[in-house]
Every structure is written in C-alpha cells, then in structure tokens.
Amino acid sequence: MRPGKYRFILIPLILFLVWSILILEDGLSRESGRAAVERLKYIPSGQTLRLITAGYHTLAADLLWAWSVVSFGEHLNGDREFGWLSKALEGVTALDPRFRDAYLYGGIMLAMEAEDPEGAVKLLERGVKNIPSDWQLHFFLGFYRLLYRIDPIEGIASLKRAAMLPGHPPYLPLLVARSYTKLGMIRLAVSYLEQVRDMISDPELKLRIEAQIAELLRRQGVVPG
Amino acid sequence: MRAISAIGSITIKEGIRDKVFLNLLLFGLLMLGLSLLIGDLSMGQEEKFVKDLGLAAISIIGNLTAILLSVGSLHREFDRRTLYSVLYRPIPRWGFLIGKYVGVCATTLLNVMAMSLIFLILISIRGYPIGIGMLKAVYMICLEVGLIAAIGMLLLQVLPFAPSVIFTAALYVAGQMIDVLREMVASERGISRGIIWAVYHLLPNFGALNVRSQAAYGLPIDPIYLVRATAYVLLYIALLMTLSSFRFERGDLG
C-alpha cells in the first residue's frame, strides 16, 4: 500500500483511530480514578500495611499520602464523600509515625471538610504522642477539642502544653486564659496568666498579661493590688 | 590474590556491559527524577518526600542489581561453560568465587554510588541540605547490597537460576520484617516459639540496616550503630561466602 495513493483514506483513518483512543482513554482514566478512590475505603490496618511494605514504610506512607491528597481534592470538588479519609490517614501515620504534615493537614481535612472532628482529635492525639515536641500539633488538638466541644478541659490542657513548647506564638498564653474565661473558670485563667507572667522576660508581653489579669480580676469584682 | 583481582575486574567489565545493569541504572535515575515531581504533592514536606523516595529508589535498584548480578554472573559461567576454562588454570575454586563476589559487589556499588551522586546533586540543586545522615543512609544501602550479593551467590549453589533470584528477594523481604518475628517470639509458646526463634536469629536483619527514615527527617544516626552494623554485615558475608566456597569446592560443576 503506497501512502501517496491512499492518503485520502489513511489520514481520516489515523484521525479516527486517535480520536477513538482518546475517547476510550478518557473513559478508562475516569473509571480507574473512581476505582482508586474505592480502593482507599479498603486500606488494611496500620500493622498489616507495615508488614506488607517490608522496609519501605516511609515510601509507602508518602505514596498513600499523595494518593489521599489527590482523592481528597477530587471528592472536595465532587460528591464530598470522605468516609475513607480517616482510614487512609491512619494508614499513613502507622507507616510513618513522624509524618508531621499528615497529622496537621489531615486534621484540618477531617475536621473542616469531612466534618469528622472526633477523627481529627484521634489523629492529632497520635500525632502528639509520636512528635511531642511540636507545638502546632498540641495547638490544633486543643483547638479542635475546644471548637467542637470534645472535652474542652483537655483542650485547654493541650493549648497549655503548646504554650510551653519552643516556637509557639506569644498570643498563646492569652488564648489559654481566654478559653478558661469562656468556660467560666476565671480563677484558673488568672492563676495560669500569673504563672506565665512570672516565667517570661518579654516586657511587652508581660504588660499585656498584666492587663489581662487586671481585666479578669475586675470581672470577678476583685480590685487588683 | 592476583587471580582473585583478575576475576573481579573481568566480572566488573561484564557487569557494566550487562543490559540488566544499564536498564536498572536508567530506571533508578528515572525514579530519582520522579521523586522530585512527586515531592510537589506532599503539601509542605517536599524535602522529606524527595529524600524518602530518592533513598528508596537507590535501595530498591541497588538490591535488584545485586540480586540479578550475583545470581546471573555465576549462572552465566555455568551455562556458557566458561567456568572450566578459568578453573583449568591454577586458581582455587574458592578464589574464583571470591573474585566473582568482589566483582559483583564492586559493580553494584558503582551503580549505588552513581545514583547517590546524581541524587545528592539533584537535592542540592533543589536547595535541600545534604546532612551527614544522607551519606550514612547511602552507606547502609551499600552494606545491604553486599549482603544480598553474598546470599544470591550461596543460593545459586543449591538452586536453579529463577528460584535463586526469587528466594534471594524473598529473604530480603523477610529480613525487613524481622521485628514481626521478634514480637512472635515473645508471644508464642512451645515448639513453634523455638522454630520462630531460630528463624529470627538465622535471617539476615535487613530491618536494622534501614536508616533511610532517620536520614530523611534529619534525625541523628549514632556512628557506633554504624560500626556495629558494619561488623554484623561483614561477619554475615564471611559466613555466607565460607558456606558458598565449601559448596563450590565439593560441588559437581557438570
């Protein structure tokens, strides 16, 4: 078959084949994408995952995390079905217990978008157990507990732990005191602020804390001395 | 000694010319490049992602190269009957085997070094720090491939080519799961406990050679631990090569 002679057949044929392949490929990738998300629902437990990934736990954690992030984006713009997310994040953190971002961003995904604050709290509880020196993990754990009323007292305790760790922002002790006040525990708020005031050396922050203590005491009807 | 180094250098030349070696090297470099792309999906921990994937790629490709070259190069000698022309000369059989092992190790380490060098260049271009931990992780991968090559050579003495490759890979995987066996030793009772205990102590502890995660997170890796791991691997290799030489000396080469 000489191409010159049959060009009028060859070119439409090639175009038809390319078009058909593209149509089929599009359908297949959509189907396989759906199947991949379906598979996320059946992720084995953390212990099994560690067993089957034989020595390449952190690599498997990275890939599972990347897969979860992509699937999260697809569901966020689609059916908003996030039943698989908590299991996937459990898998990621079981494979790599020091994967800080999986706790941090995973907590945000679970609490804010998947409407599963209990799942976010459980995830961050594992996070602070595995990375106890990270103030942000303690902070978010306390924040979700307070915001969603999942043991607020323990939530304040988490914020207090965050305020003791290096790198925390200066407003954190004041936030702890405010949280106590919101729960009606003004005495605890004052005593906590007094402890913080005695510990810090920053004069500007000391003044802000003094003002806060005075305000709280005034509310209780005590004249500051 | 001269004969061993001559066999070693011939094995290196053969290994480098081997298509499997080149294909694996190319695949490894592709995986390193891919690690940079996948790193962008990490949502904040790109450095950890890139280092994890890169070190895993070096380890996987290094170990595959060690398995295929160790089993393949000795199998070729049997298969093409080139072994007889070498053993016709005044070279002890064990010397031939040691020369082969040295050659396979050198070729595989060349592969690991090439991939590591390119990986370190890539991560420094990306602006990530190259800590001493990364070099320690690469060193541990070198120990891993040395041990795998010795296992492959021993298994080829007792098994055909394909089962040797499969069993060497299986031993590597089992050696990574040694923690599970340790837990089972603690929980089991009776004869099964004894069997698991024996398997646990006989299996090469590849899990202990895995410091890639610490390197990716920049966590400290104790130099004493490295010395102990080196001693463990060298002793294990000595045991395996002694068994291999014993089998090779007594075995029927026909």
List CB contacts (< 8 A) between A66 and chain B: 38, 41-42, 49
pLDDT digits (tens, 9 = 90+) for A127-173: 999 999 999 999 999 988 888 888 888 888 898 899 888 888 878 88
Residue of A nearest to B41 (CA): A66
Identify the H or E element spanning B222.
none
Which of A45, A48, A49, A62 is most worth mutating to test chain B (most B CB atoms within 10 A of its CB)?
Answer: A62
Closest approach of A54 to chain B, Cα-based (Å): 5
ipTM of this complex prediction, to 2 decimal places: 0.75
Name the minimum distance, in Å, from the CA of A155 to any CA of chain B. Answer: 26
pLDDT of res. A29: 66
Task: State whether residue A57 sits within 8 Å of chain B by CB.
Answer: yes
Distance (Å) of CA A186 to CA A172, A200, B120, B140: 17, 21, 56, 57
Q: What is the pLDDT of residue B252?
A: 64
| Type of residue at B41 | L
Q: What is the CATH number of domain A37-158?
A: 1.25.40
Q: Which residue has the tokens 């560690």?
A: A50
**Contact yes or no for B155/B168 (Cβ under 8 A):** yes
DSSP A37-98: HHHHTTPPPHHHHHHHTTT-HHHHHHHHHHHHHHHHHHHHTTT---TTHHHHHHHHHHH-TT
Chain B residue closest in CA terms to A69: B41
The 10s digit of each residue's pLDDT in A78-110 is 778 888 889 899 999 999 999 998 998 999 889
Taking 70 as the pLDDT cut, the residues of chain B under it are 42-44, 251-254
Name the amino acid, one letter, at B222: D
**CB pair distance less than 8 Å for B41 and A66:** yes
On whether any CB of chain B is under 8 Å from the CB of A101, the answer is yes
Give pTM, 2 decimals: 0.78
B53 to A101: CB separation less than 8 angstroms, yes or no: no
CA distance A172 to chain B (A): 23
Task: Identify the CA nearest to A153 among candidates A145, A161, A165, A144.
Answer: A145
Q: What is the pLDDT of residue B94?
A: 85
* pLDDT (0 to 100) of residue B104: 93
**Ordered alpha helix ranges (H), B126-222:** 132-158, 161-176, 178-187, 190-202, 212-217
Domain positions in chain A: 37-158, 169-225
B-interface mutation test, from A56, A104, A137, most B Cβ less than 10 A away: A56
CB contact, 8 Å: A99 with chain B? Answer: yes
Q: How far apart are CA B106 and CA B13, in angstroms?
A: 10
A113 touches chain B (CB under 8 A): no
Q: Do A51 and B177 touch (CB under 8 A)?
A: yes
Query: Which of the four pLDDT bands, split at 50, 70 and 90, describes residue A174?
Result: confident
pLDDT per position as a tens digit, B162-171: 999 999 999 9
Alpha helices in A114-151 (DSSP H): 117-130, 135-147
